[in-house]
Amino acid sequence: MNIAITGGAGFIGCNLAASFLTSGATVTVIDNLSRPRTDQNLAWLQEQFGGDQLRFVQADIRDAAAMREIIPGHDAVYHLAAQVAVTTSVKDPREDFQINALGTFNVLEAARQAEKPPVVIFASTNKVYGGMEEVSIVEQANRYAYGDFPNGIPEDQLLDFHSPYGCSKGAADQYVRDYARIYGLKTVVFRQSCIYGPRQFGVEDQGWAAHFAIAAVLGRPITIYGDGKQVRDMLYIDDLVRAYRSALEHIDSVSGRIYNIGGGAANTLAIWSEFGPLLEKLVAHPIEVNYGDWRPGDQPVYISDISKAERELGWKPEVSVEEGIKRLVEWVQANSSLF
């Protein structure tokens, strides 16, 4: 098996690469190394998996010619490279579009034009559903909850992008789906919730669970935007990797489909009213935080209904939120020099 991973030196990419390399596949990591500490993830992969099994190509998905050169010859392409922050997309929507929409188009065209087109599996986002202002929200003592979706949001929820980031990822999401319908390319789209785990160098705008864990361990400041009762479903990285691999294993029956992939209703946390006490217990000291105004488009609740993935991919999360956050904190503590 010959696998290509765009954004392969990122948090998700390097964990996915490690999984395939461990099972004997050859992996091409495609990354422009523009994001902080991706070079550290790449070095970690190279230390763990030397020799011919791992290949690194420094390239940008905005470069169509580079994609046409690199992608052919692989059995599957996991397209993870992206601009990942809503705030960044608002500041520079052109770059956001060029990376997320045009970059995905370049990857799809390179795959389509290959002599033997590879499978394309794409990392989309729950942000394609927008603010979901019409969805009933119930405020409880320590968290918000859906009034009408006890199992979370299904894939047939109307798309309402609500930000440049949502627009660019949403356009890419639909291009990937339609390349299966129009050209027969084998593709799968994952609309992902909050993913967390080791080798995630989270910052305030992206990777909030890791950002909070790093700040708590190192004594750095934390700002909570809103009241801290916003709820998210949380998926540990090992469970996401299993979902990615399951999609490839089932590609003949699931090509062209879209899946919400997250922790689901069984793995949720309020971002501070519940996460804060758990984190304080794990680091064994109180954590002081500052509060700021709600950020535009911040959903009081987002929980994925993952029942479709359970039915069709034979997949469901195995790592609980409590266990996953414990593993994340232990990794930060053991690798504090990286930060």
Residues 153 and 132: their CA atoms lie apart, in Å, by 10
Helix (H) or strand (E) holding 87: helix 86-91
Q: Side chain identity at 232, as an amino acid letter? A: R
Residues 40 and 45: their CA atoms lie apart, in Å, by 9
Query: What tokens does 35 get?
Result: 């994001």
Query: What tokens does 141 get?
Result: 């003592």
Residues 144 and 69: their CA atoms lie apart, in Å, by 48
Query: What tokens does 32 get?
Result: 């422009």
Residues 122 and 177: beta-carbon distance below 8 Å = no
Residues 154 and 81: beta-carbon distance below 8 Å = no
Query: What is the Cα 254 distance to its own chain's centre?
Result: 20
Structure-token match 């370049």, residue found: 106
Closest CA to 27 of 174, 317, 40, 9: 9
Residues 81 and 120: beta-carbon distance below 8 Å = no
3-state DSSP call for residue 129? helix
CB atoms within 10 A of CB 287: 15
Closest CA to 209 of 188, 195, 220: 195
Kindly name the residue from 129, 144, 165, 259 that is annotated as catalytic. 165
Q: Side chain identity at 300, as an amino acid letter? A: P
The verdict on whether 165 is a catalytic residue reads yes
Mention every residue, 6+ apart, whose C-beta is less than 8 A from residue 313.
243, 246, 247, 250, 254, 259
Closest CA to 264 of 309, 198, 224: 309
Q: Side chain identity at 226, as an amino acid letter? A: G
Task: Point out the residues that are catalytic.
Answer: 165
